[in-house]
Structure 1
Amino acid sequence: MYRLRYFFAFALFSAAAAFMTGCDIPLGTPEERMFKAAKHDYERNMLKLLDKGINPDITDSAGWTPLMWAAAKDNVDTLKLLHLRGGDINHRNKKGETALHVAARWSRLDTIEYLLSIGARPEALDRLGWPPLMWAAMQGRTDVVIALSQGGARMNFKDTNGNTALMMAANRGRTETVKAMLELGVNPLLTNKAGQTAADVARQSKYTELAGLIEQTIKKAPPRKTTGK
């Protein structure tokens, strides 16, 4: 009985140690192990799997690659390894999202900065017709918005309804994000297909103070064109 208890205790300890240290993952197919390595930042395991010839751009049922999962989890070291081994940083899943979309939605700043530094496209559109900037602005991820701006994102981009990222932030009452975008020079005079400016959108969503802030910025700034990217 004592030996049996000892055996189970040792087995549990070994399993816990494997999980904590990221040693070899014994269960599942090589492809399943690759996804697990991407999600948990098991860089050493990922290297072994890649050395065995596993395709870095294999996809799961939703069209996600291991690189996209590494981006979602902010596992930059594993993401770097996948990229160096040929992983496509601009691959799209079934929703049309790239790794940059995923990182923006999950507010993974380190990942975003790395992806932009190696050529990820900030203008890529998902199936909703949105670039990563729209998601970041809507969610009030101010640091991500700034990083995308520095990485070449089109700050006055309009979606199919004519809405801009500034309007998305205004609609959700993201005051700090709106302030940052205005400081970055985003045009507050642009209108959507309903003829609304960002201030109009904020007021419609009951964010009266935010609408006033946008209008004060317009009064202080020199005249702008109401069109453009």
Structure 2
Amino acid sequence: MNPEVPQPPVIGKVSHHSIELSWMNEESKPRTGSPEQWSHFSVEQMDPKTHKYSTKYIGYGTHHVLEGLESSTSYSFRLKVTRPSGECSFSPAVSVFTTREPYCGKNLHQAVNREDEEELTTVLQSGTVNVDVHDKMGFTPLMVAAQKGFTSVADILVKHGADINKRDSTGKNSLMLACYAGHLDTVKYLRNCGSTWQSRDTDGCTPLHWAVDGGQLPVITYMIQDGCEVDVMDKVSLWTPLMRVSAISGNTAVASVLLQAGADVNVRDKAGKTPLMVAVLNNHVELVKLLLDSGADHHMKNEYGAGAADMAKAFGRQNIINLLDKISMEDSNRLTSTGQFCYGDKK
């Protein structure tokens, strides 16, 4: 006599990595006597390629959870009942799909980097991801969008609650990143959302410092027109944006914009250096010329009593030495011609 065909296992809770199965039939009702007289059960899983079954559970229970499964994947199972007599019967197979893996921060950042607005919206609407989640570099999605100039992506993020004032480990916010990269539309968007020119990173640098470092003329021009303070100092060296130009890029176009906006050409840093001295130290010859033409005082000394000429000689900046000598000669001739030469200074 053929054993009765058992019912297939019942599908319970399903997640992206697990499937719950249960079963109940005559053999699983309350039992008496020794286990040798009981039927036992096996849950078997079918290999989709070979269509062969492998055992995932064996025992007397009526419930089993399979874990470690792939998300969004179809699985097929059957129940095998083995009676004390050794007779076996198999249920029909039952198939079920695991669910899609929940969205995470990685999915959000991938959508931002690909500028995939549709996927970005889907991830955000899932409600499973923090809109300000940091990536491995410590950037939020809005920081990434700002750095890349993805203004529409930034708008989606802000409308889903992204914090425009979030900072990375160095204190930079989205506005600073957009300014440094020169994305004017994104800069304007962030300003309209309430970002401020007064924000500072951990060194006290402002968005203008970062725009100057990036050499972003259109952004710098807009910032100045929007009322950004041109002589704002950082908190470490007391460098203004003009001083940053002298120290880093030597960009005369950027320096000209700052000077035309009223930047102090003779401002001093923490050590008493002026932009002219710093430009000399970094051998920015064309910037030295511009600063001198803009009223830089080459007679000024730092806190150690050294001036621009002393620094040029100490570092062998011959082009600048010649330039300063020429300026000094012109000054001397001008004083002589105007009758302002002091007898006490005569050799």
TM class, shorter-chain normalised? 0.7 to 0.9
Give the corresponding residue for 2:304: 194
- Give the number of the structure whose residues are more often helix, by fraction: 1
Structure of greater Rg: 2
Distance in 2 between residues matched to 1:141 and 1:128, nearest whole Å: 20
Question: Which of 199, 208, 214 lines up with 1:91 in the alignment?
Answer: 199
Counterpart in the other structure of 1:4 = none
Is the 8 Å Cα contact of residues 129 and 159 (structure 1) preserved in structure 2?
Answer: yes
Q: Structure 2 counterpart of 1:179, which letter? A: K
Per the TM alignment, residue 23 of structure 1 is displaced from its structure 2 partner at its CA by 3.3
Cα 1:89/1:185, change in 2 over 3 Å: same
Which of 89, 100, 116 is the aligned partner of 1:23?
116
Gap regions ≥5 residues in structure 2: 1-109, 124-128, 133-139, 336-347
C-alpha deviations, 1:30-63, integer Å up to 9, x for none? Answer: 2222111101110111112222343322222221
Q: What aligned pairs does 1:70-85 form with structure 2 within 5 A after superposition?
A: 70-85=178-193
Report deviation, 1:82: 0.2
Flag as ranges the 4+ runs of structure 1 deviating above 4 A: 16-20
Structure 2 letter corresponding to 1:201: M
Instruction: State the partner residue of 1:133.
Output: 242
Counterparts in 2 of 1:66 and 1:18: CA distance versus 1, 3 Å: closer
In 2, Cα distance between the equivalents of 1:145 and 1:170? Answer: 15
RMSD: 2.2
User: AA paired with 2:266?
Assistant: N
Find the aligned partners of 1:150 and 1:102 in 2 and give their Cα distance. 19
Compared CA separation, residues 29 and 17, structure 1 to 2 (3 A): closer
Structure 1 position 78, deviation (Å): 0.2
Superposition map of 1:163-174 within 5 A: 163-174=273-284
- After superposition, the Cα gap between the structure-2 partners of 1:83 and 1:164, relative to the gap in structure 1 and judged at 3 Å, is same
How many aligned positions are there?
Answer: 207
Partner in structure 2 of residue 111 of structure 1:
219
Aligned position for 2:291: 181
Preserved contact between residue 158 and residue 164 of structure 1 (Cα < 8 Å): yes
Q: Is the 8 A contact 2:113 2:144 kept in 1?
A: no
CA contact (8 A) 2:246 2:282 kept: no
Aligned residues of 1:57 and 1:88 also touching (Cα < 8 A): no
Query: Does the CA-based 8 Å contact 1:161-1:192 persist in structure 2?
Result: yes
**Do the aligned partners of residues 128 and 160 (structure 1) sit closer, same or farther apart at CA in structure 2, a change above 3 Å counting?**
closer
What TM-score does the superposition give when structure 2 sets the normalisation length? 0.56
Within the candidate set 49, 54, 63, 2:157 is matched to 49
Q: Does 1:65 align with 2:166?
A: no
Where do residues 143-162 of structure 1 align in structure 2 (5 Å cutoff)? 143-162=253-272
Matching residue's letter, 2:148: H
Using the TM superposition, give the Cα deviation of residue 138 of structure 1 relative to its aligned residue in structure 2, in angstroms.
2.0
User: How far apart are 1:152 and its partner, in Å?
Assistant: 2.0
Instruction: Say which SS state the counterpart of residue 57 (structure 1) adopts.
Output: coil
Scaled by the length of structure 1, the TM-score of the pair is: 0.83
Higher relative contact order (CA 8 A, sep 6+): 1
Counterpart residue number, 1:217: 327
Task: Please give the alpha-carbon distance, in whole angstroms, between the structure 2 residues aligned to 1:90 and 1:116.
Answer: 13
Structure with the higher strand share, 1 or 2: 2
CA distance in 1, matches of 2:239, 2:179: 18
Q: Distance in 1 between matches of 2:320 and 2:183?
A: 36
